[in-house]
Amino acid sequence: MKKTTRGTIRVGVGGWNYAPWRGTFYPAKHPQSQELQFASSHLTSIEINSTYYGSQKRATFIKWHEETPQDFVFSVKAPRYATNRRVLAEAGATIERFLASGVTELKQKLGPINWQFLPTKTFDPTDCEAFLKLLPKQADGIALRHAIEARHESFHTPEFVAMARKHGVAIVRALDSQYPLIEDATTPFTYARVMGTEEKKPLGYSTSDLDRWAERVKAWASEGKVRRDVYLYFISGHKVVNPQAAMALIQRIG
């Protein structure tokens, strides 16, 4: 049997409690309390975004773990209180509280943590490196994967790429968006957020575009002959069709 060099590819959306998905993605009159179970049975990953706006209870993470399939994986947006600050190096206490809040109750379903910077946050090499040093490699015995979503053009520099690679942190690929696209691979996984679905297209993209996305994602998964896991999320754009875009891409990837 030929040994595959392709990493695991997971595709999904941001969040799952979105009213316009009721009757379009979720069946009519589907119980809202069962939306996560439905979404996780049709997608292979979901980016939790409620954690960005406020802390969640430990029991909530346990519930999310129990409601999803065994091979399902979440990514988690880190709290804005850690990243929306003038001095990133002072985020240590916030990072510790977040990791102690119960996020590790997701256990083997905990994928990458997305540390999203504001679009106005510029690259300060000293402060940025101090922040990267605060990101632990593990918590409660669980290995952690970190990704930085830098949204200011000043981060589009070899110095930031080298810094991320040195500290084992991925750089989020912002696709079809107004944000800088930094495509350098710095870790054994790729984290991508696609933001260009369109209202006039039932699947968010044309079928030919989705075919190209599938080939692009598969190339990432074996980039440089290295097994590289891929986490891709359809975010914003024409959000109503994002689940359809994700399912169409999952089907093409196989």
Q: Please report, for the chain, the start and end positions of each structural domain, with discontinuous segments joined by +.
A: 9-253
pLDDT of 171 reads 98
In whole angstroms, give the CA distance from residue 82 to residue 93.
9
Q: Kindly tell me if the per-residue pLDDT of 214 is higher than 80.
A: yes
Residues 133, 139, 142, 147: is their CA dihedral positive or negative? negative
Tens of pLDDT, residue by residue over 147-165, are 999 999 999 999 999 999 9
Count of Cβ atoms closer than 10 Å to residue 59 Cβ: 10
- Segment 111-128, tens digit of pLDDT: 999 999 999 999 999 999
Out of 3.20.20.410, 2.60.40.350, 3.30.1330.40, 3.30.565.10, select the CATH number for domain 9-253: 3.20.20.410
Question: What are the residues facing 193 on neighbouring strands?
Answer: 174, 233
List the beta strands (DSSP E) in 23-67: 45-48
CA distances from 173 to 184, 206, 230 (A): 9, 21, 11
Please provide the DSSP assignment of 207-221 as one string: HHHHHHHHHHHHHHT
Task: Please give the pLDDT value at position 254.
Answer: 87
Contacts of 250 (CB under 8 A, 6+ apart): 11, 43, 44
Judged against a pLDDT cut of 90, whether residue 226 lies above it is answered with no
Q: pLDDT band at residue 5, thresholds of 50, 70 and 90?
A: confident
